[in-house]
Structure 1
Amino acid sequence: MARRVTAGETVTFRPRGNSMIPLINSGDPVTVAPVRPAALEVGDIVLARVAGTTYLHLVSAIDHQRSRVQISNNRGRVNGWTGHPRVHGICVSVAGRPRPRTAGKQRSSP
């Protein structure tokens, strides 16, 4: 999925796991669109690679000076910091419900 989103495609898939409950339940269809990482805010849900693993998790902190974001699940576990090039997409809907504050954060071309 990450490669498709990085290439400019908007994708819908059903992630498995419980680390994002109640924001995303296991198996909920999510739609992820290409993102402009510099526009992200704390609380956005992103598809990002951290320390060799790709997660659909929350942005929990932002370091604009170093062009990176901290990724965490919805249960308080911090996965780590990752640079803007490894933030592939932003979650724009969960189970057919639009996510708040996604306008202006999507990238139109790779």
Structure 2
Amino acid sequence: MRGRIEDGQLVTLGPVNPDEVDTGDVVLVRWKGGVLLHLVKQATKDRVLIGNNVGRINGWAMRTSVVGRLIRVHPLGT
């Protein structure tokens, strides 16, 4: 998620209740056979719209696909 989290930068993730995820959260989501760390752009009762920090939208994911939430971004080089 270029600009907010650089490629290869270490982060700390924590558990999340998918029902509590809201717009602006950074979450780890199961996506097309893999996982993505992405920004929640919009949230409905059952789904979240995920994208990056520079305007790209990936698409809608079910809330049940959200497996973690960003807690901390570690400085580069640590």
- What TM-score, normalized by structure 1, do the two folds share? 0.62
Whether the aligned pair in 1 keeps the contact of 2:3 and 2:54 (CA below 8 Å) is no
Q: Which has the higher helix share?
A: 1
Higher strand share: 2
1:56 and 1:30 mapped to 2: Cα distance?
A: 10
Letter in 2 for 1:26: D
Say which of 37, 45, 67 aligns to 1:88. 67
Runs (5+) with no aligned partner, structure 1: 1-19, 97-110
Partner of 1:13: none
Match of 2:38 in 1: 57
Q: Secondary structure at the match of 2:4?
A: coil
Contact 1:35-1:88 at 8 Å conserved across structures: yes
**Residue 49 of structure 2: aligned partner:** 70
TM-score (norm 2): 0.85
Deviations, residues 8-46 of structure 1 (Å, cap 9, x unaligned):
xxxxxxxxxxxx122101221101111111111211100
Any runs of at least 4 consecutive aligned residues in structure 1 with deviations exceeding 2 A, and if so which? 50-53
Q: What is the count of residue pairs matched by the alignment?
A: 75
